[in-house]
Structure formats: structure tokens, C-alpha cells
Amino acid sequence: MAGSIRERPDKGPDAYEIRVFLGRDAHGRVRHRSTLIRGSKRSELPPKP
């Protein structure tokens, strides 16, 4: 799965933004999904509702 993880020190200590490539939409534009995770870099992702 293509994506990236980056630290977000402006959001506090141990805050990371996870960004995942979703593909392209019908118009050919690149689509991404991102979420903010708090905890160590090895933390588990929260369960989906």
C-alpha cells in the first residue's frame, strides 16, 4: 500500500499524520486519505467504527 507517515510536532508530542494513496478518481485526479495518530510510531491503528 502506498503512503507516508510524517511527524506533526505542531499537534503535540508523538503525533503523526498517516497518508494513504487511494488511486485516481473519474477525472484522473490523485486521491489520498489522511488521519492523525497519537502515540508512538509503532502504535496500532484505531479500529474503524
DSSP string, 1-49: --EEEEE-GGG-TTEEEEEEEEEE-TTS-EEEEEEEEES-TTPPPPPP-
Q: Which range of residues forms the domain containing residue 13?
A: 3-38
Q: pTM of this prediction?
A: 0.66
In a domain, 43, yes or no: no
In a domain, 21, yes or no: yes
Q: At 41, is the pLDDT very low, low, confident or very high (cuts 50, 70, 90)? A: confident
> For 10-24, how does the pLDDT look when each residue is reduced to its tens digit (9 = 90+)?
998 889 999 999 999
Q: Give the pLDDT score at 33.
A: 94
Number of domains within the chain: 1
In a domain, 23, yes or no: yes
What percent of the chain has a predicted confidence (pLDDT) above 90?
53
In a domain, 47, yes or no: no
* Per-chain mean pLDDT for the chain: 87
Q: Give the pLDDT score at 43.
A: 64
